Amino acid sequence: MGKLSRDDVLKLAHLARLELTEVEIAEFVEELSEILQYVDMLQGVDVTGLKPTNQVTGLENVTRPDTIVDYGYKPADLYKNVPAMQSDHIKVKKMIG
């Protein structure tokens, strides 16, 4: 990819909705160019014959069967403790304005 230009950084900043100062633009030209050079270097590494590694710990997902537990309560008994109901739903105050 090579070195990014000032215009490239300004285009990226516009897409990301960022307002950059002249100092920040100069810093990002250098920093992003270094990152892209590193990626180019990684692209050139020969990985022929290597297997992909998704994780290295050997851990596996542990699942358990879903079982229904009857605690001896009926929903109607629990609804007695809520301040307000609407149909079969607990009514709460508006959370988002």
Q: What is the DSSP string of 4-32?
A: PPHHHHHHHHHHTT----HHHHHHHHHHH
Evaluate whether 30 touches 6 at the Cβ level (below 8 Å).
no
> Within its chain, how far is the Cα of 30 from the centroid?
27
Q: What is the pLDDT of residues 40-68, one digit of tens each?
A: 999 999 999 998 888 788 888 888 899 98
Three-state secondary structure call for residue 35: helix
State the DSSP code for 50: P
Classify residue 79: in a domain, yes or no. Answer: no
Tell me the pLDDT of the chain averaged across its residues: 89
Classify residue 24: in a domain, yes or no. Answer: yes
Look up the domain containing 33 and give its range.
Answer: 6-43
Classify residue 14: in a domain, yes or no. Answer: yes
Classify residue 39: in a domain, yes or no. Answer: yes
Evaluate whether 12 touches 33 at the Cβ level (below 8 Å).
no
Retrieve residue 11's tokens: 């285009």
Structural domain count of the chain:
1
Q: What CATH number does the domain containing 22 carry?
A: 1.10.20
Classify residue 64: in a domain, yes or no. Answer: no
| pLDDT the model gives residue 58 | 81
Residue 1's pLDDT band (cuts 50, 70, 90)? low
| pLDDT the model gives residue 36 | 93
Question: What is this structure's pTM?
Answer: 0.50
